[in-house]
Chains A and B, each alone.
Chain A
């Protein structure tokens, strides 16, 4: 969606904050951050963020569009909600991070090789196919998401865990043939397509 990216740059040339407010889930909360840093200090993956949430909020207000959207920081969110319950201003930080990651992903400028981005994409495609997650194909997809070579290596490393899961009947090799799913798959697909259509139309309207 790089055309959309160009359109957004044009439209919001002077204010990345306004762009975030209009297009990012819960983005209208960003201006409320008071820079106390409790979120950054509370994050279990804190040391792995190039820019922890507090910094991301300030960077948005400082107009650092490129740095924020191409950062792999938001992709470090484990959805533990520590920051949300501790934030004195009650910002829904987890959802803002998800929203920023999703926005960067839709614009096509999120880091290509980011593993959580890849896994999250696999996860959604997996669940959307039949309405329920197929854990076997999801796991295999994860092992091989970086190609055949690394995939075989990971699969070997994970072999004993897989065997343990099968032995305890918590994984079924037959899931490869399709496995669980909703009965009304076409209805589910229609709902998702309509929801996506509404969301895309809104973003196009904002892009102007």
Chain B
């Protein structure tokens, strides 16, 4: 297949030494194998995620995503915008829909952008990396690149919220999306059947401001994975990954559990299955080490 090119919006958490820098490393390894070229939007800014609303308000918040789209139109015309972060994708796609659905808003946004000499048309598609994999490649094609099938690993596909709602992945239901399970299977591992917490919220940004309430949700997400016999959890979202991975000690102390569940990205699984080494799959970027993946990667 010919090289595919996208206008890439990596987002704050993917930057060097930031909380999902491990995600970006594995995405790059995965894209390398699939001959995907990610052209970073020059000088992109934060999208305000799902928590910027309180101080930011409507127009300043939308203007942030509009600036990214304007820069993308200049630098990478004709390419789809692709985000790896769920919140980045949601904010950008939401802004695009809002601008096209409301001509006053489009006018006001461009008035704001003009303060920095920018103008937005918002006519590039805004997609999540998972959509690129499923729609532009498809499971069969993705499976052809597997060099080391992830045999003997059982994985709970934790889809979470923001890659699933409100937009979702075409052809998938909001309540029981199956794309992660299919990806897990395509990589040669076994998905947990009937993982009932697959679309349960982890608390999102409120894991910071309301830790107790959020950790109660996270506990259920991990417990259901154990109940399904999972060796690890896989997710497409940086906030889900961090929330479900890093608070396990706090949850164990509070609920008297013994959780030690690795939480990886789909791109981690794919990098390992595509024969990349542990470093290229960013397996060293996990606090709860995914030993079974390390074994395969080091083979």
Chain B residue at smallest Cβ distance from A48: B213
Given contacts A106-B57, A133-B46, A192-B60, A44 and B18 within 8 Å (CB-CB): no
**Cα of A145 to Cα of B48 in the assembled complex, Å:** 20
Q: Which residues of A contact B217 (CB under 8 A)?
A: 44
Contact check: which of B15, B62, B112, B165 meets A180 at CB < 8 Å?
B15
Select the stretch in A7-15, A50-58, A75-83 that faces chain B.
A75-83
Residues of chain B contacted by A164 (CB below 8 angstroms) = 246, 287
Known: A161-B247, A168-B285, A198-B112. A78 touches B206 (CB 8 A): yes
What CA separation (Å) do A116 and B204 show in the bound complex? 11
Q: 8 Å CB contacts to A: which residues of B248-295?
A: 249-250, 284-287
**Chain A binding surface, main DSSP class:** helix
Contact in complex: A120, B53 (CB < 8 Å): yes
Complex partner residue of A116 from B52, B201, B210, CB under 8 angstroms: B210
Q: In the complex, which of the residues B161, B214, B286 has the most CB atoms of chain A within 10 Å of its own CB atom?
A: B161
| A135–B13 CA distance with the chains assembled, in angstroms | 8
> Among the listed stretches B19-27, B125-133, B178-186, which one makes contact with chain A, having 4 or more residues with CB under 8 Å of it?
B19-27
Complex interface residues of chain A between 101 and 137 (CB less than 8 A to chain B): 101-102, 105-106, 115-121, 123-125, 127-128, 131-133, 135
Chain B residues, CB < 8 A from A118: 209
Residues 26-68 of B, flagged 1 when their CB comes within 8 A of A and 0 if not, give: 0000000000000000011110111111111111101110010
Complex contact B58–A191 (CB within 8 A): no
Alpha-carbon gap, A179 to B170, bound state (A)? 37
B171 contacts across to A, CB distance below 8 A: none
Shortest distance from the beta carbon of B115 to any chain A beta carbon, whole Å = 4
B142 within 8 A of A: no
* Residues from chain B with Cβ under 8 Å of A132 in the complex: 12, 15, 45-46
| A84 CB contacts on chain B under 8 angstroms | 165-166
How many positions in chain B have a CB within 8 Å of any CB in the partner chain?
67
Given contacts A135-B19, A188-B116, A191-B115, contact A81 B55 (CB under 8 A): no
With known contacts A115-B210, A124-B48, A199-B60, A80–B161 Cβ distance under 8 A: yes
Number of interface residues of A (CB under 8 A): 66
A115 touches B55 (CB 8 A): no
How far apart sit A132 and B52, CA to CA, in the bound complex (Å)?
12
A79 contacts B55, C-beta separation under 8 Å: no
Residue from B22, B209, B210, B217 having most chain A Cβ neighbours under 10 A:
B209
User: Does the CB pair A25–B22 fall under 8 Å?
Assistant: no
Query: Would you call A180 and B116 a contact (CB within 8 A)?
Result: no
Tell me the minimal C-beta distance from A182 to chain B in angstroms: 5
Q: Bound state CA distance, A84 and B168, in angstroms?
A: 12
Most A CB contacts (10 A, CB to CB) among B46, B48, B205 go to B46
Say if the beta carbon of A59 comes within 8 Å of chain B. Answer: no
A67 within 8 A of B: no
Q: Write the nearest CB–CB distance from B232 to chain A, whole angstroms.
A: 16
Q: Does B111 interact with chain A (Cβ within 8 Å)?
A: yes
Is A182 a contact of B17 with CB atoms below 8 Å?
Answer: no
B18 contacts which of A48, A86, A127, A135 (Cβ < 8 Å)? A135
Q: Is B12's CB under 8 angstroms from A127's CB?
A: yes
Q: Is the CB of A119 within 8 A of B111?
A: no
Q: Which 9 A-B pairs have the closest CB atoms?
A: A187-B116, A79-B50, A120-B54, A172-B17, A124-B55, A81-B165, A80-B201, A190-B115, A195-B112
Residues of chain A at the chain B interface (Cβ within 8 Å): 25, 44-45, 48, 76, 78-82, 84-86, 92, 94, 98-99, 101-102, 105-106, 115-121, 123-125, 127-128, 131-133, 135, 139, 142, 157, 160-161, 164-165, 167-172, 175, 180, 182-184, 187-188, 190-196, 198-199
A-B CB contact pairs (8 Å), 13 listed: A44-B217, A105-B54, A116-B206, A127-B52, A127-B64, A131-B45, A132-B15, A132-B45, A161-B249, A172-B16, A183-B43, A194-B112, A194-B115
List 5 extra interface pairs beyond A48-B210, A195-B109, CB under 8 A.
Answer: A78-B204, A78-B205, A81-B166, A99-B53, A105-B54
